[in-house]
Amino acid sequence: MTTQYLLRILNARVYDVANETPLEPAPSLSRRLGCNVLLKREDTQPVFSFKIRGAYNKMVRLSADELARGVIAASAGNHAQGVALAAQQLGCRAVIVMPVTTPTVKVQAVRDRGAEIVLHGDSYSDAHDHALTLQQAQGLTFVHPFDDPDVIAGQGTVGMEILRQHADPIDVVFVAVGGGGLIAGVAAFIKALRPQTLVIGVQTEDSDAMAQSLEQGQRVTLSEVGLFSDGTAVKRVGEETFRLAKALVDGMIRVDTDAVCAAIKDVYEDTRSIQEPAGALAVAGLKAWVARQGARRPDGQPRTLVAITCGANMNFDRLRFVSERSEIGEGREAIFAVTIPEARGSFKRFCGLLGQHNVTEFNYRIADASQAHIFLGLQLTEPSQAQTISNQLRAAGFNTLDLSNDEVAKAHLRHLVGGHSELARAERLYRFEFPERPGALMRFLSAMNPSWNISLFHYRNHGADYGRILVGLQVPASDETDFQSFLQQLGYPHKDESLHPAYQLFLGCQESQQG
């Protein structure tokens, strides 16, 4: 298996359009972790991602007749730009089907390369199915984003360059995984020449199709995927990429959104470049692996670890969200819900317990005559301080919830604290993910029973292709069947948060809670 792909990779045609990207030290991250961290800078490619390698290697091998008819691809961004640039270089027609939710910056980047854009569906799967229909109708050649031997071989040249650029031993190479094309190619080359080097894949917790597939020994199809790391948001990995990963990949690591945001900041501090979430995913996995396995080899020497920073097509508007969440992801901020007695001197006593910690957020609203609830953000010097602070506050008699890892608190409640309403009886609280496009909210409102009342609505634009919505709905118990039918027909990812403890503290109807 590895011999076959070794030859494919050695003979891959990528350097007509792609650069041999640098393998750079990350001095700040290396000092902090206590090991030797190197970054393979695929974000410096002409299309700001590695995808140009596989797309061009596939297309340059097409016959003259196939090139004359043109190519088609489905993509939400990076693969689309790679295909468009390859088509520009080869002088052929390129049709790219993109979800209608694709950010404008990515659509325009593909259009600027001369490709024809077709917007269709809300997801990559919708775009992929439509692309296959157009392929049959127009006689085009489909360029798959990952599940194609020539595409895999093109991506494998990243691994070839890593070994050529660093002749000394490498302990682990970390690779972001979506459909699996990059890790399949990188693992095929590295395992053929340096089998002692580990190849570890990294996925987000809510888009872990490869991790689940490897655990179950067969390809798994996810019902839905998280979209923050849109470059790796794949519901089903490729058949060929799974076969290679099963044989060659040494393990998978899952990380959360905050860890990815922290990794984006880490790369920025060392390189002054801004990665997209998928681009920083390998760095987040590297940090998680070091936390579990340690920074040093059994002989006491620092490990040498490589992370492939595979993409920098970041929407500027998303930086606000990344900046906000990176502090928590680094363990440099903790947020708490603290209940204190509404008594003379208790507030001063509470503040005294905070000591020299820098307060990053402080929201207060009286709850009743006997107690008050405070939403508190504190800057930390190390993650373990969060537990210490919680223990100190509880020991002083203040009921404390650590909300640092709570998605509802971080995304919504910190912006809504202080909103108890006696009018919000029988309120149900739901989280939704809406497609970020005109008409999404009207679809929601039109599907609702007009007798149901919206008692709370919170939305923040995160610069992604979906919006996070928190909605309070007053629905009579007698309408339960209709309500469940409404949720099913709507089809938006959702979660019932009506019993969430922080919601009960800061926003819930107190009379309903007591009754």
For tokens 């050695």, the residue is 10
Query: Mean of the per-residue pLDDT values for the chain?
Result: 88
* Residues pairing with 199 in the sheet: 173
Distance CA(411)–CA(374), nearest Å, equals 17
Secondary structure (DSSP) of 219-253: ----S----TTGGG--SS--HHHHHHHHHH--EEE
pLDDT band at 16; cut points 50, 70, 90: very high
Query: What pLDDT score does 316 carry?
Result: 80
pLDDT band at 353; cut points 50, 70, 90: confident
> Are the C-beta atoms of residues 434 and 195 closer than 8 Å to each other?
no
Query: What pLDDT score does 439 carry?
Result: 63
Please state, in angstroms and as integers, the Cα–Cα distance from residue 225 to each residue in 74, 159, 252, 487, following that order.
17, 28, 17, 18
The model's pLDDT over 250-264, given as tens digits with 9 standing for 90+, comes to 999 999 999 999 999
pLDDT above 70 (res 218): yes
Query: What pLDDT score does 183 carry?
Result: 98
Q: Encoding tokens for residue 231? A: 């470059």
Pairwise pLDDT comparison (511 vs 17), residue with the higher score: 17
Q: Mean pLDDT throughout 93-104?
A: 85
Query: What pLDDT score does 348 carry?
Result: 74
H-type alpha helices, 306-366: 319-329, 346-353
Distance CA(359)–CA(356), nearest Å, equals 9
Distance CA(240)–CA(247), nearest Å, equals 11
Beta-strand relationship, 116-119 and 94-98 = parallel
Query: What pLDDT score does 290 carry?
Result: 98
pLDDT band at 446; cut points 50, 70, 90: confident
Query: What pLDDT score does 515 carry?
Result: 44
Query: What pLDDT score does 371 carry?
Result: 78
Element (H, E) at 4: helix 2-10
The model's pLDDT over 389-424, given as tens digits with 9 standing for 90+, comes to 999 999 988 999 999 888 888 878 777 766 666 777
The model's pLDDT over 370-380, given as tens digits with 9 standing for 90+, comes to 777 888 888 88
Dihedral through CA 509, CA 510, CA 511, CA 512, nearest 10?
60
Beta-strand relationship, 198-204 and 453-460 = unpaired
The model's pLDDT over 166-190, given as tens digits with 9 standing for 90+, comes to 999 999 999 999 999 999 999 999 9
Contact partners, residue 289, CB within 8 Å, separation at least 6: 172, 174, 200, 253, 305
pLDDT above 60 (res 447): yes
The model's pLDDT over 449-478, given as tens digits with 9 standing for 90+, comes to 888 877 777 765 555 556 777 888 888 889
Distance CA(140)–CA(66), nearest Å, equals 7
Query: What pLDDT score does 359 carry?
Result: 75
pLDDT above 90 (res 55): yes
Determine which of 21-30, 227-236, 335-344, 486-495 has the lowest per-residue pLDDT on average: 335-344
Distance CA(110)–CA(287), nearest Å, equals 33
Query: What pLDDT score does 152 carry?
Result: 98
pLDDT above 80 (res 488): yes
Distance CA(43)–CA(382), nearest Å, equals 30
pTM reported for the whole predicted model: 0.79
Query: What pLDDT score does 441 carry?
Result: 67
pLDDT band at 438; cut points 50, 70, 90: low
Q: Mean pLDDT throughout 45-69?
A: 96
pLDDT above 80 (res 75): yes
Strongest mean pLDDT among 29-33, 361-365, 447-451: 29-33
Distance CA(53)–CA(152), nearest Å, equals 9
Q: Residue count of the chain, please give it.
A: 515
pLDDT above 80 (res 362): no
Query: What pLDDT score does 406 carry?
Result: 87
Query: What pLDDT score does 365 carry?
Result: 58
> Are the C-beta atoms of residues 489 and 356 closer than 8 Å to each other?
no
